[in-house]
Amino acid sequence: MEKYSQSHNSSPEGKEYTGKKSRGKIFLIIFLTFFSLGFGILGTVMVRSAYAKERVCSASAEGMVVGYRDSSRNNKHRYSPIVEYRADHQIFTGETNIWFNYRPFEEDEYVSVYYNPEEPEDFYIKQYDLPATYKMGAVFLLVALGIPAALVLFTVINRVITDQKKKEQIQAVFLLSLIVLF
């Protein structure tokens, strides 16, 4: 008499599979899809906000770095430059929204400032703020596009290559390449 196991089913090709493995793969794909979408949305928002700020802040002025705001956590310091500049016959002092683990400018160093003529307190440092925001947005977008590309590549590798050892070697090299890239 043939034994029947509820935990294993046979596929039409005669291969055994478990429902748990299939559900795990579906959950992973759904998770990575939402993760990728989140990164894509965040990257798009960052790039669009940098572009919008670049368009709105059309007036320029020479500014001076007068100090830094220092934020520290777990003995790690982050710095945001404080800039003073003249707009509409007034002196404005402001801080950027970008933080780095180093001080990109010397105090009393002159920098190019672009500000919004309608709201002069809205500004950015040309060689600092927008390039950083564009780069971070681009990284988020690359991750968002890279995750589906990696899933497709893994699926193709699983379907095309039949030798399990060769398949694992290719996937390991690919994963290592991704880790080194990021």
Strand partners, 16: 10
CA 121 to chain centre: 28
- Is the pLDDT at 2 greater than 70? The verdict is no
**CA–CA distance, 36 with 145 (Å, rounded to integer):** 7
Average pLDDT on 135-149 reads 86
Average pLDDT on 119-146 reads 85
Per-residue tokens: 153: 């590549």
**CA–CA distance, 159 with 157 (Å, rounded to integer):** 6
Residue 104 CB neighbour total at 10 angstroms:
18
The per-residue pLDDT for 62 is 95
With CA atoms as reference, report the closest residue to 83 among 47, 133, 127: 127
Q: pTM of the prediction?
A: 0.62
